[in-house]
Every structure is written in structure tokens, then in C-alpha cells.
Amino acid sequence: MTPPTASTRAANPERLAGLRRFCGGAVYLPGDPQYDDARRPWNLRADDRPAAVAYPAFPDEVAELVRGAAAAGLRVAPQGTGHGAPPLSGQLGEAVLLRTSAMTEVRIDAANRTARVGAGVLWGDVISRVGAARLACRHMSSPSVGVVGSSLGGGISWYGRAHGLQCSAVTAVEVVLADGSIVRATDEQNSDLLWAARGGGGGFGVVTAMEFDLLPITTPYAGMLAWDWRHSLEVADTWSRWAATAPDEVTSILRLVEAPDEPWLPAAVRGRSLVVIDGAVVADPRVAAELMAPLRALGPDVDTFEPRPAASLARLHLEPEAPMSAHASSTLVSALPAEGVQALVEAAGPGSGSRLMFAEVRQLGGALGRPAPRAGALDRIDGGFLVLTIGTTGRSGGWDGQRVDADRVRDAVQPWGSGSLYLSMVDDRDDERRAVPGGHWDRLAAIRAAADPDGLFVLPHSGSR
């Protein structure tokens, strides 16, 4: 019997119940008391009711589940924490949500400066262990984000401009393909799969484990500068000029934020409206301090820049860690000249009436903008800056208001847009072709078609087939 194709699939209730025997019983179906707990992603805005939710712990359990789902006429949607749940929304009714949280293996090889992690491992779990080995990793700005998911999507870290995308550091992945076969992909074997895993976002199988290089960084010069946000324009203008010329050792973010009065924020920030620059410099402290001097000259109210253990960068960006409702919108711009800065501050800064949680500009370029030595679906990011807004509930205007304000920010910088997208920070379903460099996309689609000819795996963004 050939497996059913996407068009002929129809879920069969008995076969659905048959899924229960997989994953040591860690399978939930609609109506189970804990189904609601299990289907809930980190981003609570996504409220989907998958046909089943399963928590496999080993590749063989993933393989069994994948085969079982296909036999039951269901698709499979792999998901880690569910930070990236929104683009999947609406696609899960006939799918098994395969949550990777039980695959918690973490191994650090300090001598070879590599790490191996299971698909359920969060960056926070890795950062501390890597730090203990006196190394650093290209981790995301939030410790509660999953390693594998964010690496599949690219991965911009505090060391990005010096050391490139996290996905370019990936040396091996272990993948369960649509037919249930378990393969290991390296540059030597199944290299297509590894290539697709480097920034291709998935869709070719379930990645159960990933290996990547670590960095010999122990004490980066890192911290945060903050001013009352009435200085937004001056600070943003100075930063954008500084950032455009800063050496690759520097990676930084400018953020316009009306910080909520919440206990998880440090007292210096809590409940205040600020313009913040945070970042890391991988250089000798004296050199780093010299680099920071032009920004310090603006007289920040808060200045925490100093040499600090790499592991302490986990929470540098003060991201909310507990599950919440959020909407991310972002765009890539080639450059941000003074007019651009002004437009941004007008759209999101003081007096803008913005109801967003925050708007920020991430400094790209450097190694992030050059083709990585290791080829991958995403081997660089096309743009000098990433403009990102995050909306959330509990603000005036509701989701509609948030969206209006997010669109306003995006439109304000659109004149400088690079035309490309960084999909990991886009919650609305968009066309993958805008994110993957031309030519790469055809190869990615071909690799997916070979690994998953019947379209078993659900893709967050459109365009692959």
C-alpha cells in the first residue's frame, strides 16, 4: 500500500486512537484531560486543535509516530517550544503535533568545542553548560527558545557579526524522514539534508538532534546602555551611524520600549519608557571600551557594559520567558540613514502613540552578511539591519491596534527595505521565497520533495510546494 498523499488523506478515528501506543503513552487526543495543556505552545496567540499531540523521546519513537501518523491519514507538524507556532496556525486540524520536548540530551565536548543537543533542549540549558566549559555558543536573545528550531531558521546571536549565523555552525543533524527512516546528515553523508537544515527551516523531516561548533569566548564585553526615551532620536541616530561602521566584533540592538511594570524586569528598567542599546563586543576590554566611547558620550542613565562571563548573556536582552501571547513582525533594511531613523522614531518612539510592546533594530552585517564558509540554505542575511516589533495582549486597541502599529513601523522603514525577510521573526505566514536566497530555494524544495514526497510534514510558511 502506498502512503496516502496530501489530497487523499482522511483521518480515521480508530487509527487515531491507535496512536496512543506510541511514545510510551505520551500521546494526547482531543477530549483527553490534558490535551489542552499539551497543545498549548509558548506563543499562546496560536490556539490550534491538532488531531493529536505526541511527545516522542527517541528517534525510534519519532519514526514509529511518523509512520503511525501517515497510516492514520494525518500529517506531522514538528514543534519545539512553540515560539514559532503562529505561522502553523490553521494547518494542524489534520495533523499530529510532534512536540520535541522529551529529547533533552545535552553533550558538550570542550576539547573539540562542539555541542550535541536533542531537539527539546532550550538555549538556556546549553548556555550555562557551555559557559561552565569556558566556551560560548551562538545563542538567541531569549534563553527559553529551543536550540534546534531556532538553528533551523538561521539564528542571530550576540556573536553574529563576528562569527556568523548559528545555522552555519551546525556540523551534523539527525533526522527522521517521512518514511520513518532515521538518518544522520553531515558534510560527508546526506549532505543535502545538512545543507537544508542550515537555515532552511525544516520540512524535510523531524530533526531529533543537532551538533554544532562552539566559540572560544569566555568573557565578552557586554551590557546595556539606557536613556529616557525622550532622547530616542539622538541615541538612535548616533547608534545607527556608529553601527554602520563598527567592526565585526560588535553586535548590538537598539530598542524603543515602554517597559511594563513587571517583577521579572530589573528595577532600573521596570515601568520606564526607554531607548536601550544592548550588545556584546568580542575584544580586549580596553579595545571594547574604546569602541563604546561614542555611545557613552551620550550620557546614558544606565550603563552595564563590562567584561562578563559569556553565560550571563543569556538574559541580557530581557526577553519575557514564560508563555505569552505575542505577535512578531519584522523586515530587513539595507541601511538606516538619518531619515530612516527619524521615520522609525516617529512611528514607534515618544509621541508616536504606539501600543506595541517594543520596537527594535538589530545590527546585522559583518559575518552575518557574508556567505558563510559552510554552505547552507541560509548562509547570510540580506540586510544591514532588522527592524522588529513585538505586540502583545493587554495593550489598548487589542490585536488590531497592535497590527496597525506594527505595520506603521514596517512601512516607515520600507523605503530602505532589502526586499528580503528573516522568517524566524515573522509570525504572519509569508512566502519562503522572500527569505531564502534565489537559487537556494529551488534546491531546498528539491531536497524536501525527495525526503518527503507526499508532503507529510506541515510547513509554517508557504511556497515550498
Residue numbers of the site for other proteins (CB under 8 A)? 23-26, 28, 33-34, 37-38, 55, 57-58, 81-82, 99, 101-102, 104-105, 110-111, 120, 122, 124-125, 133-134, 143-144, 216, 218-219, 307, 321-323
**Beta carbon nearer to other proteins, 105 or 228:** 105
Q: Write down the least CB distance from residue 301 to other proteins, Å.
A: 29
Residue among 79 and 352 whose Cβ is closer to other proteins: 79
Complex with other proteins: residue 34 or 245, whichever CB lies closer: 34
Q: How many CB atoms lie within 10 A of CB 302?
A: 16
Measured from the CB atom, is 321 or 430 closer to other proteins? Answer: 321
Residue 328 CB, nearest distance to other proteins (Å)?
18
What kind and span of H or E run contains 67?
helix 59-71
- Supply the DSSP symbol for 166: G
CB of 49 to other proteins, least distance (A): 17
Residue 10 or 322 with smaller CB distance to other proteins: 322
27 Rama class: left (phi>0) / alpha (psi -120 to 50) / beta: beta
* Amino acid, single-letter form, for residue 189: Q
CB of 370 to other proteins, least distance (A): 28
Cα 135 off chain centre by: 22
CB of 264 to other proteins, least distance (A): 10
Task: For 100, list phi and psi in degrees, rounded to 5.
Answer: -95, 10
Q: Are the C-beta atoms of residues 78 and 173 closer than 8 Å to each other? A: no
The minimum distance between CB 25 and other proteins, in angstroms, equals 4
Q: Do 261 and 270 form a contact (C-beta atoms < 8 A)?
A: yes
Smallest distance from other proteins to CB 71, Å: 21
Indicate the residue among 208 and 420 with the shorter CB distance to other proteins: 208
What are the backbone dihedrals phi and psi of residue 176, each rounded to the nearest 5 degrees, phi first? -100, 120
Considering beta carbons, is residue 40 or 434 the nearer one to other proteins?
Answer: 40
Assess contact for 43 and 325: CB atoms under 8 A. yes
Phi, psi (degrees; rounded to nearest 5) at 36: -65, -40
- Return the half-sphere exposure (C-beta side, CA atoms, 13 A cut-off) of residue 238: 18
According to DSSP, the β-strands at 302-303 and 221-228 are antiparallel
